[in-house]
Amino acid sequence: MRTIGLLGGMSWESSALYYRLLNEAVREQLGGLHSARCVLLSVDFAGIERLQASGDWARAGELLATDARSLQAAGADLVVLCTNTMHTVADAITAAIDVPFLHIGDTTAEAVAAAGLTRIGLLGTRYTMEQPFLADRLSAAGLEVLVPDEADRDLVHRVIYEELVLGVVRDGSRRAYQQVVDRLVARGAQGVVLGCTEIELLIGPDDVDVPTFPTTALHAAAAVRAALAPAPSAGPPTIVG
């Protein structure tokens, strides 16, 4: 089993979900007392959030790249960034390490495409909904991406930062999110990407009438597949002489 490096803490609520999902998946696949082999580096989210708010993505990328190198040094065979929003600095992280980086956008795009959908709604932080780092990965897979209008983007973002990252889950916010999804569906969305790891604490497949694609669960499942995949064959020995 390969060691999964988790770069988390953004927020720790979603990182805890990652940890549970990884271990449940390994136990399901291997049985018995098996659990995921992983190392976790959990950052102080307050500092990262200040950089988000100020738009200093370059500095955020430097910090997370350094942390990713620490995960590799600690024995990680692959790195998982436990947040959607900070995938905006995925290139900085990838350039800093020599082990595979599993991009959350790729695992999500594969799942949506496999479901046969062509037009997908995207919920997330304002950064995720308005910047191209996730939408472009979906579009590259042939998907049309719809985001909420400005008022709905404000609502979705506010609930994430004022409630979900603090572990607060409110029925009123769930109903508000359901209405946002309904408006996306009315515009033609065939499903919705839950493009913020904390959103999965609030809504799931039973809360809306279209397929949902929970990025955290999809990302964790991909990490387990990578960790449990057979090592590539070295091929037959070379005979000299």
Helix residue ranges, H only, the chain: 12-30, 45-54, 57-73, 90-96, 104-114, 126-130, 132-140, 150-162, 171-186, 215-228
Is 196 among the catalytic positions?
yes
Q: Of the listed 38, 82, 83, 85, which one is catalytic?
A: 83
User: How many CB atoms lie under 10 A from the CB of residue 154?
Assistant: 12
Rounded distance between C-alpha atoms, residue 135 and residue 142, angstroms: 11
List all residues 6 or more positions away from 55 whose beta carbon is below 8 Å from its beta carbon.
none
Is 83 among the catalytic positions?
yes
Q: Of the listed 38, 196, 197, 215, which one is catalytic?
A: 196
User: How many CB atoms lie under 10 A from the CB of residue 186?
Assistant: 8
Token look-up 């989210």 returns 45
**Catalytic site positions:** 83, 196
